[in-house]
Structure 1
């Protein structure tokens, strides 16, 4: 029976990077994937466009992950966004940042990334076996010795667990790595679906599905949680909201929904304008054309569909001039324009989640090596750890960087 220097479990961004890094250092590497093809979740990333990373400095990048972000310092020092772009260039993939921020392969296709990494693994002699679901970690109490799948046992001096989380179960995510980690004493935090659409109690949102609202700001309207906020573009759906701002915000909302039946939020659809600024804006618009009615004025800020719904909520007549509305109704409308209340009351669970919030406790992993502090020779990388970031290449960069560090196999 063959013995490997490294066995990698999982063929996502983190797993493939770990395999390549270890093989480049001359190690014999086996990569095990439970699906029939490698890179299934990576293929779907960013709608198939594969937002690899972004151009933020390491400090700013880590800050977007919250209080645990600094855990990434050694990984980002080893492989930051510039080094990642260089890595892909070396294996034949050019990348660029068309908006100066988000980095994509120039093909804007995740298949380009998968094919290049697969070709590099072939070139380095990495043995890839698909349809092999790892069920058990083999060890002697101090050090790992291999893994068992449903049909086989594989012997290895080092094991990298890169199985991801629970998001996108249709692409094979079942949280396979969590019981493996627990079997050697690791703690796993509570797990929540993240980066997903949200449902609202309010039904008026379905009347606005044709329109996208740019630069929306939203925050939780609960005393203890007002600091939880997000900014970005918003899209209305039949039963709620989605879009980049919602994907980011859902990371904060899903844990709250496990405690509360409903989470009230406030959304600013007017690019951050406050009540006074909105009143001034309307005055300026009326100077240009004093004959505009309320709906026409609102449409200088918002699409017609949203303007009509806010008129209904404020109980104003959209066909009347703003100055002819009752004072209380006019004030209600201005308040709604500054902060529109919505009530989040649900989501579709992990089946719609792009990532998982939660995972293996970071205190039990060495940030300089990604090695377990519980047992020698066991490494973790990517989404399986309790560290997740917003949209914009954050989670993929973390997966690649942590995979790179794990693949170095430093004790």
Structure 2
């Protein structure tokens, strides 16, 4: 047993753990961070392709709504540390930020290394102890109180632990579900875990010929009777095996749990920027009248990239070289329906190795939202992805990590 007694031990050095450590240390607490990898913040470094979309400019109310029915859980954390307070905090440790599109907030360097360096310097300034290559295996307790942690080769004393071990996404960056195992043994409930924010595989193969273009403002919907309300909107890219792009990353968090239940999930894609059947019909008719020499593929190409236009004509069993008025009515109707809502079938994904976040986690019912402290174990705090709360792309999950870590670091017993 290490004889030093810490006021706080932080397990994990992602965004949530780092800010929790800084907040506690600024209050004069003796803090130790234990990180199982050789460097801090490996997953943070990879966030947003290394550009690090930190947060966004939404109001707290709108921000919470994007997390669904459990979003209200984060109200106290956001009140304590919203996007404005995050950017002020970062500025205070030498990290300037901006919102080039008026919504997503990045470091002005557009490099996650800037964030990591800023935190590393602040930890050093505050005298926080940092031990890398230290994998915590057990949380030590006595009569419902935290007493310390046990690593592979040492144990450390404390009365407060922040568990910031993240989820299961990107195991190569250290996410192995360590925290879930630790809290299970203490009586905490961990919900079903599903990979989220990832590309999806489809049964169809026609999309292989449409990989050159990004399709903007696509709407995706689940085509299952009980789940028709599930939808997302954004840019889409077709791949050899299925679909990806920002809209798919958002949509995957809804689809991956359904795949466990149904094995296949039928979806519908509006690829025509929200146009309905009547609007599409009018558009095709107008273009054919204005330019009577255009083939049907050329006319559809006024709405979509050429390869996609060709494939949708094939799906409607239409000869792409025909003029609009030469196509029989039934096939023309079929094409218009396909343009309004193109059906595809999601059949799988690459699992947690490609998942940016995890859907599911420690039950929110067992966590005090005012402090992030466990309702079962005194002195045990949670923050970030380990909890059963996840949001879409656009800085949502990182802001939640920072806000929950900030609140946990205040150690309100």
The answer to whether the superposition gives a TM-score over 0.5 is yes
1:324 is matched with: 326
Q: Distance in 2 between matches of 1:219 and 1:282?
A: 24
1:124 is matched with: 126
- Aligned match of 1:138 in 118, 140, 164? 140
Q: Distance in 1 between matches of 2:185 and 2:119?
A: 31
1:95 is matched with: 97
Shift in Å, 1:322: 1.0
TM-score normalized by structure 1? 0.99
Matches within 5 A, 1:34-49: 34-49=36-51
The CA deviation string for residues 302-357 of structure 1, in whole angstroms up to 9 with x for no partner, is: 00110010010001111111111111111110000000000000111101100000
Shift in Å, 1:290: 2.3
1:286 is matched with: 288
- Aligned match of 2:204 in 193, 202, 205? 202
2:393 is matched with: 391
1:68 is matched with: 70
Structure 1 position 347 matched with structure 2 position 318: no
2:265 is matched with: 263
Q: Distance in 2 between matches of 1:212 and 1:222?
A: 26
Q: Distance in 2 between matches of 1:88 and 1:205?
A: 43
2:316 is matched with: 314
Structure 1 position 373 matched with structure 2 position 375: yes
Secondary structure of 1:179's counterpart equals helix
- Aligned match of 1:156 in 148, 155, 158? 158
Secondary structure of 2:304's counterpart equals coil
Q: Distance in 2 between matches of 1:373 and 1:184?
A: 11
Q: Distance in 2 between matches of 1:42 and 1:79?
A: 19
- Aligned match of 1:225 in 210, 224, 227? 227
Shift in Å, 1:287: 4.1
Q: Distance in 2 between matches of 1:286 and 1:330?
A: 13
Q: Distance in 1 between matches of 2:287 and 2:109?
A: 44
Kindly report structure 1 stretches of 4+ aligned residues shifted beyond 6 Å: none
The CA deviation string for residues 241-276 of structure 1, in whole angstroms up to 9 with x for no partner, is: 000010000001000000112100000000000010
Structure 1 position 22 matched with structure 2 position 24: yes
The CA deviation string for residues 68-110 of structure 1, in whole angstroms up to 9 with x for no partner, is: 0000000000000010011111111110111100000011110
Q: Distance in 2 between matches of 1:19 and 1:161?
A: 11
Unaligned runs of 5+ residues in structure 1 are none
TM-score normalized by structure 2? 0.99
- Aligned match of 1:274 in 260, 273, 276? 276
Secondary structure of 1:330's counterpart equals helix
The CA deviation string for residues 339-387 of structure 1, in whole angstroms up to 9 with x for no partner, is: 0000000111101100000000001000000000001100000000000
Unaligned runs of 5+ residues in structure 2 are none
The answer on whether the counterparts of 2:288 and 2:324 sit within 8 Å (CA) in structure 1 is no
Shift in Å, 1:4: 0.5
- Aligned match of 2:183 in 172, 181, 184? 181
Q: Distance in 1 between matches of 2:72 and 2:98?
A: 26
